[in-house]
Structures are given as structure tokens and as C-alpha cells.
Structure 1
Amino acid sequence: MTQHSQIETLSRRSALKGFVTIAGAAVTLPALGSLAACSSAPTSLEGLMPLVRGIADRIIPQTDTPGAVGAGVPDYVAAVFDAHFTADQQSDFAGGLEAIAAFAKDEGVTSFESADADKMDAALAKLAAGEGSGSANAAWSELRDLVIFGFYTSEEATQELSYEEIPGRYEACLPLSEVGRAWLDRGV
């Protein structure tokens, strides 16, 4: 073997070794990054769940049909928060819920689990009217939307609404006492 062919062989080996190293790093580094993310403490609504349950119960309370809490809506809100909110959205929403708790405390509601329903309703009505801070109002609006959507896409909503996929005849004005409940004319 000549000196020239030995240099080419070493050169090819070096190139192949470099290529394998780069390809291995490209495959390994993202996996290592995801493992590092698994070790960090996950953000959750765990400490704010009593507030979420209390507000959900006031938005859709239990009557002769299950309410939002009975339909598992607080767990739905927590699942959406954990699985679909970005880190910034989680931070904003959790901060907004804390602002709602502070606003409610100023209104005389110390706990949404044990407070008087009239006091809670008055505080939530003020939030709905925009009297809270910007973050409290934004969190209230988002939570209200999540609760309503979560409830009306649950099985328990079928007990509250009657649904007929292909309705019969059209009657424009019908007393609610004849129908029994509000009707949903198409899926949510």
C-alpha cells in the first residue's frame, strides 16, 4: 500500500466516523432533552382546584340534573390545562385564578367551597361585568367558557337537554311546559 492510498483510507475513515458522530448526536440529543423535561416539576392546578370546583358549581349548579361538578367538569378543566395550555398560558391562567381568589376575598368570599351562594354569585357577577383586574377578568372568561363547553359535551348534558337528530315538524312558538326542557337542535 502506498503512502497516498493510506492517507485516503484514513481520510475516509475520519469522514465516516465524523458522519456517524453527527448522526448519533442528532438522534440522541432530542431524546435527552425530552428526558430532562420529564424530571422537572409539572405545572398543575392542584392548589387551585377548590376554586375551580366552586366556580364551576356556581356556573352550572346541580338541580334535578347533575351540575358541572357532578359531570366532572373541574377534572376536564385540569386536563385541558395540563395537556393543551402552553407554559405561558398555564402561568397566565393560574395567575388569573389567584387574582379571582383575591378579588373574591375582597368581596367577602373567603372560600368557594364553603361560602354563601349569594356572596359567590355577587362576586362572580362583578367579575362578569368586568369589575376585577385584567387577569381576573380574562381567567373568569376562559374558565366560564371551559366549564360550559366541558359540561355540554359531557354525558350529563343529555339529562338536561333533549336532543333529536332529525326533528319532526316545525312549531315556532311552543310553551316550555309542553316540551319539558330546552331542546338542542344540533350538536355542540
Structure 2
Amino acid sequence: MNRRDALNRVAVLMGGALSAPTMVALLEGCTTKDASAPFSLSADYQEIVAQFADIIIPATDTPGAKEVGVGPFIEMMIKDCYSDAQGEHFKKGLSLVEEKSKELGSSFTSLTNEQQIEVVKAMETEAANEAQKAKEEQIDPETGKVKEGSAAEEPVTPFFTLIKELTLFGYFTSEVGMTQELDYVPIPGRFEGCIPLKEGQKAYALG
């Protein structure tokens, strides 16, 4: 699968919208980073990422995000394909996840499934508030127009938005996602511009 096909798939899953950093990461690929300060997550944070992703795509009659290895995929993507600023913002998001979890009595990974879902929803609200604040900071209240120079540096993507994008991307480009959740055709035949869809037809995997 090439990057543009992957981008199109994730865009559909996200309702047509992707954050700018993710579009850059998928279309431009990985960049050389400062080797003195590589992005990495502690073992505790790695487990939180894996479990958080599993709340987004839990196991049903098919494996969930954690089982197919989405957690390590997310860490690899942020390390290799995102800016250092985005990586630090992601870590701050994980710290906030733990803060909200402690308010419920324990670390995120030790909470009940219902409590973990509560924390995930709280982070979704946090992301919406963060995005709204960033938007307001770019608008001149007197003119209602974007402030000059405000778009010179693209703001980092909120934690929840980024982890959701990468969870979907990682899951639906995995073997399980492509062959069990999507209708995978390993060797497509002739082009047919219009074909009937069966009831309950899965979306086709882009191979």
C-alpha cells in the first residue's frame, strides 16, 4: 500500500478530516531527527498507549487494536514521522490521561473498562477544547479574520486526535484489519466501474 492510498483510507475513517501533521507524515515520509533526543516512551506509557488504542478499537469477533500491535506502531510513527514538538505534546497528553485516571482512583491501565472509557471521552472533550482555543487564537476578534502570520507555524495536534488517527491507520493497514475487517482482494481482476454491493458488504481493502 502506498502513502496516498493509506491517507485516503484513514481520511474516510475519520470522516474526511485529517490533522496537518498526519498528512505531512503520510505524504512526505520520515525525516532525519536530532539523534541526541529521540522520541521514546516509558514502559508505563507504552502500555497506556496500547490500552487507549484498544478502547478505540476493542476486540469483538476480531482482534482489537492492542492485539494487532497498534501500540508499538503509534510510538514508531511519532518517533520517525512527526516533529519533536508533536512528540512532546503527545507525552503531555499521556500525562494528562494519568491525571484524569488518578482522579478515578488508579492508573489508567488499572481502571475498569467503564472507567477507561470515561477517561477516553474526557480526552476527546479536551481535544475539542484545545482545537477551539487554537482556532480562536488565530482569529482577530475585531475583524473576524485570521491574524497575519498566525498560520506560519502549524499548531500541534491534540493528543486524542492524533492517537485516534494513528490507531485507525495502524489497525486498518495491519493484516487483521485488511483481511478480517475489510474485503481484501490480494490480486484484483479487471476493472469494473459499477458492481452491485451485497447486504452487509465490507469496504474494500486497498492493497
TM-score norm. by structure 2 comes to 0.58
Change (3 A) 1:105 1:41: same
Structure 1 residue 125, shift from structure 2 partner = 1.9
Question: Where do 5+ consecutive residues of structure 2 fail to align?
Answer: 1-31, 132-156
Larger C-alpha radius of gyration, 1 or 2?
Answer: 1
Aligned partners of 1:103 and 1:132 also within 8 Å: no
Quote the residue 1:60 is aligned against: 57
User: How big is each residue's C-alpha offset from its partner over 1:90-126, in whole Å with a ceiling of 9 and x where there is no partner?
Assistant: 11111122122212322x1622323210111122123
Paired positions, count: 143
Aligned partners of 1:100 and 1:140 also within 8 Å: no
Aligned partners of 2:97 and 2:108 also within 8 Å: no
What is the aligned counterpart of 1:160 among 178, 181, 186? 181
TM-score norm. by structure 1 comes to 0.64
Quote the residue 1:30 is aligned against: none
Aligned 1:29-108 pairs, distance under 5 A: 38=35, 40=36, 42-47=38-43, 48-106=45-103, 108=104
For residues 165 and 123 of structure 2, what CA distance do their matches in structure 1 show?
A: 14
Does residue 185 (structure 1) correspond to residue 204 (structure 2)? The answer is yes
Structure 1 residue 133, shift from structure 2 partner = 6.9
The percentage of aligned residue pairs carrying the same residue is: 27
For residues 47 and 37 of structure 2, what CA distance do their matches in structure 1 show?
A: 21
Task: After the TM superposition, list the runs of 4 or more consecutive aligned residues in structure 1 that deviate by more than 6 angstroms.
Answer: none
Aligned partners of 2:90 and 2:159 also within 8 Å: yes
Structure 1 residue 161, shift from structure 2 partner = 2.2
Change (3 A) 1:133 1:51: farther
Structure showing greater relative contact order (alpha-carbon pairs closer than 8 Å, 6 or more residues apart) = 2
For residues 105 and 73 of structure 1, what CA distance do their matches in structure 2 show?
A: 25
Aligned partners of 2:39 and 2:78 also within 8 Å: no
Structure 1 residue 131, shift from structure 2 partner = 7.7
Quote the residue 1:120 is aligned against: 116
Structure 1 residue 187, shift from structure 2 partner = 2.3
Question: Where do 5+ consecutive residues of structure 1 fail to align?
Answer: 1-33, 177-181
CA RMSD of aligned residues (A): 3.0
> 160-169 vs 65-74, which deviates more?
160-169
Aligned partners of 1:71 and 1:154 also within 8 Å: yes
Quote the residue 1:20 is aligned against: none
Does residue 170 (structure 1) correspond to residue 196 (structure 2)? The answer is yes
Quote the residue 1:12 is aligned against: none
Does residue 110 (structure 1) correspond to residue 116 (structure 2)? The answer is no
